[in-house]
Structure 1
Amino acid sequence: MSYSSNGLGGPKSAAAASRSRRRSHAAITGSAEAHSSSRSREEEEGKRKKKVSVIGSGWAGLGAAHHLCNQGFEVTVFEDGNGFGSSDNAGIIQGFWYPYKNIFSLVDELGIKPFTNWMKSAVYSSEGLEVEFPVFQDLQQLPAPLGTLLYTQFKQLPWVDRLSSLPLMAAVIDFDNTEMAWRKYDSITARELFKQFGCSERFYRQVFDPLLHVGLFAPPEQCSAAAALGILYYTSIAHQKDFDVVWCRGEVKETIFDPWKASLRSRGCRFMEGREVRDLVFDEGTSSISAVFCSSDELVYADAVVLAVGVSTVQELVKNSAALRSRDEFLKVLKLASIDVITAKLWLDKKVNIPNPSNACSATDESFGWTFFHLNALRDEYKDCPHTVLQADFFNASEFVPLNDDDIAKRIISNLGKCANDIENASLVDMDISTSPKSLTHFFPGSYKHMMRGSTSFPNLFMAGDWIVNRHGSWSQEKGLRERLGSSEPSCGFGWKRKLCQDHPG
């Protein structure tokens, strides 16, 4: 006798039992088919390449795209109207120092030779030529910082002032680039740091002031001591030859970035040029970013997003994005500051003697820093030019921004004349001047607590750039690139890369 399964215990006919068995069989078969279909969809989804949108096409953006393409992701890079990265489109000339191993490996991988030989450089204060740096690797190697101190050619600074910088080594050793060290030294200015450790006023004014003016883009009294310690250790104190530098023999965009982008395109990377990203679309169901919204009213869906842009660009995005404004880490970015840059390329009517191809300077009133370069010695396109071609880059020179080009040129020539006397006897025949407001990060005291990490509170949104906190000591294009090219070092800056590959395997 068969019984119903309704809990009442009543008898059930054979026909009813047969129908019940048929229904059960059909249900099981249907369930199996549904499960098989679901599994097929999951398998199909698993075979699909995960899509990653990279916002920004500077060192950090292309570095992120490079690594992600190597990992098998489907990568789309969003470029703004300049087709260049945030700080990179300022047009400033940047050196490539001896420790920039990832950049040197990259150009080898691309099969290009974009750099000059190792070159000497100089430092000018308001009192004239102060320092000439030799090519340190050509000299007998001594323990750091003895080699740097002994081989550097100080033109005016007495030995007693040079030796006053040695106690600063205690701070450099104490600054181990940890979170605790950053918070300790970020609370004071670089100027206060030098005073605390007995650095003479003359050494500070003639050497540290112009170097930090162009290394951190602002006067030392406006810069974080932690940022100053990081850059001093990384470029000059760790090893004798770390201060050696090469320069790009052409514009970075054409010489390095264009072949790099061509290589990425050959691996399936897509570049969306002239696209300003206006917003990121938040999916409440997954609590993640699901798409990128562009100024062209395009909506591009993505499994993950990498923001590889400068501070000012992130700030504009936060103002436009309700999703980003909902998170404290992005609201803190609004408290950060950026620095204006003036770039001027000048053609003089005759050859002028420029002793060193690259030079770091501070203004007479020490309100801004600037660099100038002899392009006839650095750039292939100007080697045979009958004119002297110079480029001068001015940092934190806000007073230049409202001026017209002619007035800016007069001020630049006046400053150049204090470094190279022959310039006063030459005439300006052509110029190309550009202003880039808020294009470089200002590492002011207390800024560290507002800076972002590589991973964010959105599970699929990541940050990249030279202002993002990681264990790399400098603030440079090498830092922007370093964590993107697959370094295996277990520092906090590489966490986004591992997490992205774990959560979205290609």
Structure 2
Amino acid sequence: MLSSSWSWRQSLTLPPSSPFDFSCRPRCTRAGPSLVAHARAENNDNGEDGKKKNKNVVIVGSGWAGLGAAHHLCKQGFNVTVLEDADDYGSPDGIGIQGFWHPYQNIFSLVDELGIKPFTNSMKSALYSSEGLEVEFPIYQDLPQLPSPLGALVHTQFLRMDLVDRLTSVSLMAAVVDFDNTDTAWRKYDPITARELFRQFGCSEKLYRDVFRPMLQVGLFVPPEQGSAAATLAMLYYLILAHQKDFDAMWCQGTLKEKIFKPWKELMRTQGCVFLEGRRVTNLFFDEATGRISGIACGGETLNADAFILAVRISTIQEIIRNSSVLRTRDEFLKVMNLAGVDALSVKLQLDGKVTIPNATNVCSGNDHCFGWTFFDLNVLQDEHKGDPVQVIQSDFYYADELLVLEDEQLVGKTMSYLADVVKEFGNSTVVDREISRFPRSLTHFFPGSYDYMMRGSTSFPNLFMAGDWIINRHGSWSQVLICHCFFSSDLRFDSR
């Protein structure tokens, strides 16, 4: 039930021929990123020696989107090259702790194929408002199964909210059902704010302020007054209408890079995938005779291929567009310049002693409601910190513009103050070590009206494809996550030319 930047967007959808066939009902995939990479034509041409020659694909970015596309295309027999730069072209891997919800069976199938066990069991979680602990979320699959939305209403422990306020959430079901993820639905709800959505459907002010607001602040990264109602409805499926057991989440027992991405890339290398580090795209080349992209420039180096996939975050694709006279000739790319990013911040602290923390995963609302944040007990979640005699905590902040400009010492002080507001025992602790990561404009801002500026996965260049949480897929939604957070979301159809 705990919604966060990595939750509702991290589903990976592949075609039926894929070993990652995502077989749950369609409504489960609409709010998450999807990877649909389908090679319609044969992946070969005759070379000069008469032998079949596989087509070459260059993928820019090695986050969930890039690796998901690479994995599927390698299995289809393409020659795949993945370009990485210093920050993995905006991979969301380092932005916050990411959870994995029950419907993400494709990701669980991936780790099974890799032969790894990176996840915890399903865990309880909590939500704090500025007034204190508001909600505790149980492990729903262990409780009597009730029809939606009764499971969430009955089994969730609302500590400071009466039944009348809770029941006002039921009215939102009408909007969630009405939002069928079509282009028409997006255009109907995207122009209004999430705040207006809650007003229109009669959600009580207390339920909105103490529960939905903090959830949206870490789920959509911004206050509801600045978030799209359409994006909110896509997320609300998991808060209201999902099957009861779909609310349960598991967590990676370390960083995604080490636990999942590293073995994933090693597998793809055995399949012929090439990873090139330190490559930052500086230009694209256009072949006027074919009307196709012929190559990508990385400084003084040019990489040629039959097809190209840009699997990068919004701030990076905007940088590529600024530098590319080719992309700037097309309106679809110029519109992308109107999209926006959100700042994020991660503060990992080691304290001088253990702190009693009721739940390992927690969502919080900032004291002034300007930003949302989370905190995690890494002694419980991550293998490397289990058994440590000291407490290790990670706090992640979203829409954190006001915090990114602070010096590290100031950030540590503010983080400890926020922690002490929700768990008093933190006030008696001293920080002995810290690790602070800043992510300016690293998450997509789904502001009202942003749908008009998003791209499709396929572009007006027949061999150039896009990936990311800001991409409109064939169902009329975007793909992340996630923080997500992040998967390739278009139909790849390479013709035989």
Compute the TM-score of the two structures, normalised by the length of structure 2: 0.88
Summarize the Cα distance change of 1:285–1:42 in structure 2 as closer, same or farther, 3 Å threshold.
Answer: same
SS in 2 for 1:444: coil
Measure, in 2, the Cα distance between the counterparts of 1:477 and 1:300. 29
**Cα distance, 1:479 vs. partner?**
8.1
Letter of the 2:253 counterpart: R
Summarize the Cα distance change of 1:403–1:480 in structure 2 as closer, same or farther, 3 Å threshold.
Answer: closer
- Residue 74 of structure 1 is matched in structure 2 by 79
Measure, in 2, the Cα distance between the counterparts of 1:199 and 1:46. 65
| Deviation digits for residues 187-246 of structure 1 (CA, Å, limit 9, x no counterpart) | 100000000000000000010001000001111111000000001104552211111100
Letter of the 1:375 counterpart: L
Work out which of the residue numbers 335, 339, 343 in structure 2 matches 1:332: 335
Work out which of the residue numbers 50, 54, 59 in structure 1 matches 2:59: 54
- Residue 450 of structure 1 is matched in structure 2 by 453
Letter of the 1:414 counterpart: S
Is 1:215 the equivalent of 2:219?
Answer: yes
Summarize the Cα distance change of 1:96–1:353 in structure 2 as closer, same or farther, 3 Å threshold.
Answer: same
**Where do 1:362-441 residues align within 5 Å?**
362-441=365-444
- Residue 3 of structure 1 is matched in structure 2 by none
Work out which of the residue numbers 167, 172, 187 in structure 2 matches 1:183: 187
- Residue 307 of structure 1 is matched in structure 2 by 310
Is 1:119 the equivalent of 2:123?
Answer: yes
Letter of the 1:67 counterpart: H
**Cα distance, 1:467 vs. partner?**
2.0
**Where do 1:226-241 residues align within 5 Å?**
226-234=230-238, 236-241=240-245
Q: Kindly report structure 1 stretches of 4+ aligned residues shifted beyond 4 Å.
A: 40-46, 472-475, 477-482
SS in 1 for 2:285: strand
1:97 touches 1:235 (CA, 8 Å); kept in 2?
no
SS in 1 for 2:169: coil
Measure, in 2, the Cα distance between the counterparts of 1:133 and 1:408. 29
- Residue 36 of structure 2 is matched in structure 1 by none
| Deviation digits for residues 15-53 of structure 1 (CA, Å, limit 9, x no counterpart) | xxxxxxxxxxxxxxxxxxxxxxxxx96675771111100
Letter of the 2:345 counterpart: I
**Cα distance, 1:380 vs. partner?**
0.5
The structure whose RCO (Cα within 8 Å, separation 6+) is larger is 2
2:46 touches 2:53 (CA, 8 Å); kept in 1?
no
Measure, in 1, the Cα distance between the counterparts of 2:91 and 2:213. 22
Measure, in 2, the Cα distance between the counterparts of 1:226 and 1:403. 33
2:341 touches 2:441 (CA, 8 Å); kept in 1?
yes
**Where do 1:140-155 residues align within 5 Å?**
140-155=144-159
Measure, in 2, the Cα distance between the counterparts of 1:74 and 1:424. 55
Letter of the 1:47 counterpart: K
SS in 1 for 2:472: coil
Measure, in 2, the Cα distance between the counterparts of 1:294 and 1:474. 27
Is 1:258 the equivalent of 2:271?
Answer: no
Summarize the Cα distance change of 1:52–1:354 in structure 2 as closer, same or farther, 3 Å threshold.
Answer: same
- Residue 23 of structure 1 is matched in structure 2 by none
Summarize the Cα distance change of 1:478–1:386 in structure 2 as closer, same or farther, 3 Å threshold.
Answer: closer
- Structure 1: runs of 5 or more not aligned: 1-39, 485-492
Letter of the 1:143 counterpart: P
- Residue 348 of structure 1 is matched in structure 2 by 351
**Cα distance, 1:109 vs. partner?**
0.9
- Residue 19 of structure 2 is matched in structure 1 by none
Measure, in 2, the Cα distance between the counterparts of 1:380 and 1:317. 38
Letter of the 2:146 counterpart: L
Measure, in 2, the Cα distance between the counterparts of 1:504 and 1:357. 52
- Residue 36 of structure 1 is matched in structure 2 by none
**Cα distance, 1:480 vs. partner?**
7.6
SS in 2 for 1:292: strand
What is the Cα-based RMSD across aligned positions, in Å? Answer: 1.8
Letter of the 2:481 counterpart: S
Measure, in 2, the Cα distance between the counterparts of 1:213 and 1:242. 21
Measure, in 2, the Cα distance between the counterparts of 1:280 and 1:294. 9
Measure, in 1, the Cα distance between the counterparts of 2:239 and 2:75. 30
Measure, in 2, the Cα distance between the counterparts of 1:177 and 1:45. 47
**Cα distance, 1:90 vs. partner?**
3.8
User: Which deviates the most, 300-309 or 472-481?
Assistant: 472-481
1:99 touches 1:235 (CA, 8 Å); kept in 2?
no
1:102 touches 1:481 (CA, 8 Å); kept in 2?
no
**Cα distance, 1:156 vs. partner?**
0.1
SS in 2 for 1:339: strand
**Cα distance, 1:280 vs. partner?**
1.2
**Where do 1:74-113 residues align within 5 Å?**
74-82=79-87, 84-113=88-117
1:335 touches 1:450 (CA, 8 Å); kept in 2?
yes
2:470 touches 2:478 (CA, 8 Å); kept in 1?
no
Summarize the Cα distance change of 1:41–1:453 in structure 2 as closer, same or farther, 3 Å threshold.
Answer: closer
Summarize the Cα distance change of 1:183–1:41 in structure 2 as closer, same or farther, 3 Å threshold.
Answer: closer
**Cα distance, 1:392 vs. partner?**
0.3
Measure, in 2, the Cα distance between the counterparts of 1:430 and 1:116. 25
Measure, in 1, the Cα distance between the counterparts of 2:482 and 2:439. 18
1:309 touches 1:465 (CA, 8 Å); kept in 2?
yes
- Residue 170 of structure 1 is matched in structure 2 by 174
Structure whose CA Rg is larger: 1
Measure, in 2, the Cα distance between the counterparts of 1:504 and 1:399. 51
Letter of the 2:472 counterpart: V
Letter of the 2:81 counterpart: T
2:470 touches 2:479 (CA, 8 Å); kept in 1?
no
Aligned length: 451
Measure, in 2, the Cα distance between the counterparts of 1:168 and 1:235. 10
Letter of the 2:296 counterpart: V
User: Which deviates the most, 470-479 or 50-59?
Assistant: 470-479
Measure, in 1, the Cα distance between the counterparts of 2:403 and 2:486. 31
Measure, in 1, the Cα distance between the counterparts of 2:128 and 2:171. 24
SS in 2 for 1:277: coil
Letter of the 1:138 counterpart: D
| Deviation digits for residues 403-446 of structure 1 (CA, Å, limit 9, x no counterpart) | 11000111111111111110001111111111110110000000
Work out which of the residue numbers 242, 245, 267 in structure 1 matches 2:246: 242
**Cα distance, 1:117 vs. partner?**
0.3
Letter of the 1:194 counterpart: F
Letter of the 1:118 counterpart: S
SS in 1 for 2:455: coil
Identity %: 59
**Cα distance, 1:370 vs. partner?**
0.5
Compute the TM-score of the two structures, normalised by the length of structure 1: 0.86
Letter of the 1:50 counterpart: K
Measure, in 2, the Cα distance between the counterparts of 1:409 and 1:478. 23
- Residue 325 of structure 2 is matched in structure 1 by 322
SS in 2 for 1:342: strand
